[in-house]
Amino acid sequence: MFVKLLKLKCNHINLRLEYNKVEMKVIFDNSEELKVDMYTDRFKVDLRYGKDHIYWWPSTLPPIDYVLSIVDVTHCKSIKKLIFPKVAVYDPEYDNTIPLLTKLSKIDEVIVEDFTSYILSPDSPLRDVLRIVFLVTSAVTISDHVRKPEYLREIFTGNFDAVSVQLLGDIDTRFPLNDLRIANAKTLKLDRVAFKVEDLNLYFKLWMK
């Protein structure tokens, strides 16, 4: 199996970070997939390729170090998607992934599936992690429960090619004009976001200038 994998050409790699697990999916040019789950709390690696399933408990190499080894062997130049699912208040395990994230040189897109005001609060275990990966990504996608737009300003002012925000729920959240004006992204997509008509008209007048 491993000899065959070495002969395949990598198309892209996606990473998903649970609070105690790194899920890695390597997609090859022939559409086949290699799935690797690395547990940060019990030093277990679980590998699946086709009908093959292998798991082991490494004794010396931390499980998350396998991510970098696989990236090197498959010659992938970047991580296509780095996904963070819903963050629980009492999940401190993200600290275990920091040594890995600081070594990722390029991430095409960071996706936060359930972004809340807590995530960027001083008590959040994910805040420092996001600040690390924001430095090496060109796009950020957020599914947002934030009801105060100021919590997103740190992202709006980042140097990203694209920022996409989708508000969840039925609450009418209005973004002030200043939040649009400070955005540095080349492409800003706001889904289900409300604006005052006068603010939107003024924004387009300023944009035309």
pLDDT of the chain along its 209 residues, tens only?
A: 666 677 788 999 999 988 778 999 999 999 999 999 988 777 788 999 988 899 888 767 776 788 888 888 888 878 999 998 866 555 556 777 888 888 898 999 999 887 666 666 666 777 788 889 999 999 998 876 665 666 677 788 888 999 888 776 555 556 677 777 788 888 888 887 777 788 778 878 877 76
Question: Same domain for 101 and 198?
Answer: yes
Instruction: Tell me if residue 132 falls in helix, strand or coil.
Output: helix
Question: Same domain for 86 and 177?
Answer: yes
Question: Same domain for 121 and 139?
Answer: yes
Question: Same domain for 72 and 111?
Answer: no
Q: Which of 61, 77, 93 is the last residue of a domain?
A: 77
Question: Same domain for 119 and 164?
Answer: yes
Count of beta carbons in the 10 Å neighbourhood of residue 19: 20
Question: Same domain for 35 and 109?
Answer: no
User: For residue 102, which of 73, 138, 75, 65 has the smallest C-alpha distance?
Assistant: 65
Q: Which of 26, 50, 77 is the last residue of a domain?
A: 77
Q: Which domain holds residue 170?
A: 80-208
CA atoms within 13 A on the CB side of 144: 26
Question: Could you tell me the two tokens for 86?
Answer: 């819903």
Is residue 63 within 8 Å of residue 43, measured between CB atoms?
A: yes
Question: Same domain for 24 and 59?
Answer: yes
Name the β-bridge partners of 13.
26
The total number of structural domains in the chain stands at: 2
Count of beta carbons in the 10 Å neighbourhood of residue 119: 22
Is residue 44 within 8 Å of residue 57, measured between CB atoms?
A: yes
Question: Same domain for 134 and 183?
Answer: yes
Question: Same domain for 49 and 106?
Answer: no
**Cα 40 to the chain's mean position, in Å?**
18
Going by C-beta distance under 8 Å and a sequence separation of 6 or more, which residues neighbour residue 89? 118, 123
Question: Same domain for 85 and 69?
Answer: no
Task: Write out the E strands in the chain.
Answer: 10-17, 21-28, 33-39, 44-49, 52-56, 79-84, 107-115, 139-144, 162-167, 187-191
Per-residue pLDDT, 57: 83
Is residue 101 within 8 Å of residue 125, measured between CB atoms?
A: no
DSSP-assigned letter for residue 26 = E
Is residue 21 within 8 Å of residue 84, measured between CB atoms?
A: no
Per-residue pLDDT, 173: 59
User: For residue 98, which of 74, 130, 72, 50 has the smallest C-alpha distance?
Assistant: 130
